[in-house]
A and B are shown apart, each in its own frame.
Chain A
Amino acid sequence: MEKNTRLTFIEGERIELLPINPENVKIHARWENDPKARLYTRNVFPVSPEDLKKRLEQDQERPKRDIFFEIYHKELDKIVGFVEFHNINYINNAAYLSVLIGEKELWGNYLGTEAAKLMIKYGFEELNLVKITASALRPNKGACRIIESIGMKLELVLKNQVYFDGVYIDELKFCIFREEWEQMNK
């Protein structure tokens, strides 16, 4: 993608965050259905590109409850995942963060961490959030590691919250407050 046609919204070191491009709906469908990628996101219904297109069309009123970005890898010149805030509450100034690196070959390179850090900065500095939360299933050690490395702390353990591979497992909820993040970044 040419630099001048790319709609870079947030610039990072190795990656950029771009608004969702409806033309990429087939790539999104591939990631959302991929058995390895969807294992811990608990996406249990198959999703076609048409379904995704329809979801994008249901545009939300501003201020939006959900904000999505595609993660663009500069060197590889392609999108590799997405990152989002959802359930943004403008009165409580809180939101949920989630990250998915859809291209499995790139797992283990801390791209998810970089994307999450960019989002947290965007959330606190531009959306005026006070609290950002994220959750992960207990067996998802990878996600727990990313979440802790970006400074989030364990807040709640929801016992037997999610049905996973035939049993009920715990969901771990993490959070970070703006004051903590500001301290970290001094």
Chain B
Amino acid sequence: MEKPEVFPFILGENIDLVAINLEHVNLYAKWINDPRVRRYARNTIPITVEESKKWFEPREGIKEFVTFEIYHKKDKVPIGTCGYEHIDWINRHANTFMSIGEPKYWNKNLGTEASKLLIDYGFGELNFHKIYAGIFEPNIGSWSVAEKDGFVLEGIEKKTIYIDGEYVDARKYRYLKEDWLKSKE
């Protein structure tokens, strides 16, 4: 198959953040339904390719979310998605999400790289004041990386989500602009 055209928006070392490409919609649908991926992504209802397509269709009005594809430069393939949702332009905060859909790219620090690019974009370009993230307690891989990347634990929401037959806690993290500015000094 001929490699599709890629439009990098933010350049990294091993990965770039690129615009969502609707030709990859089958990949997105595969990732979002994959039991290994969706377990902690809070997706309990199967999502069809049509629904995925509709989600990414251009919409009117002020953007409430911004999504990127994480593109692996050397292997020339998309490996996941990340971005901001629930953007509140008055309070200038947003929830950040990240998902590496291809398991062979897990544990390679690519999440950390994407996270850093995303944070710089949020504070430096979108002018956010606060970025937050919610990660479920059993998803140790994810939250330990978040803490390493500079997210501060704001608190724990107990028994907040039903996963695999039980209620699980959610760890709420924050990243304030002042912390980002300090990290740049």
What is the total of A-B residue contacts with beta carbons within 8 Å? 52
From the candidates A94, A130, A157, name the one contacting B154 in the complex (CB within 8 A).
Answer: A157
Evaluate whether A163 and B91 lie within 8 angstroms (CB atoms) in the complex, with A155-B157, A156-B172, A158-B174 already known: yes
Query: Which residue in B90, B132, B161 is a CB contact (below 8 Å) of A92?
Result: B161
Q: Is the CB of A160 within 8 A of B176?
A: yes
For the complex, would chain B's binding face be called helix, strand, loop or mixed by DSSP majority? strand
**Which residues of chain B come closer than 8 Å to A162, judged between CB atoms?**
91
Known: A131-B160, A168-B129. A159 touches B174 (CB 8 A): yes
Contacts of A91 in B (CB 8 A): 44, 162
Q: How large is the interface on A (under 10, 10 to 19, 20 to 34, 35 or more residues)?
A: 20 to 34
A41 within 8 A of partner (CB): no
Which B residue's beta carbon lies closest to that of A158?
Answer: B154
A21 within 8 A of B: no
Q: A130 touching B92 by the CB < 8 A rule?
A: no
Q: What is the interface residue range for chain B against chain A? A: 20 to 34
A131 nearest CB neighbor, chain B only: B159
Q: A161 contacts which of B93, B157, B161, B167 (Cβ < 8 Å)?
A: B93
Tell me, in angstroms, the Cα distance from A168 to B91 when the chains sit together: 8
Nearest chain A CB to B95 CB, angstrom units: 12
* A161 and B162 contacting across the interface, CB-CB below 8 Å: no
Given contacts A94-B160, A163-B92, A175-B157, 6 further A-B contacts (CB under 8 A): A131-B160, A159-B174, A163-B91, A168-B129, A168-B130, A175-B158
The interface of chain A, by Cβ under 8 A from chain B, is: 44, 91-94, 130-131, 155-163, 168, 173, 175, 177
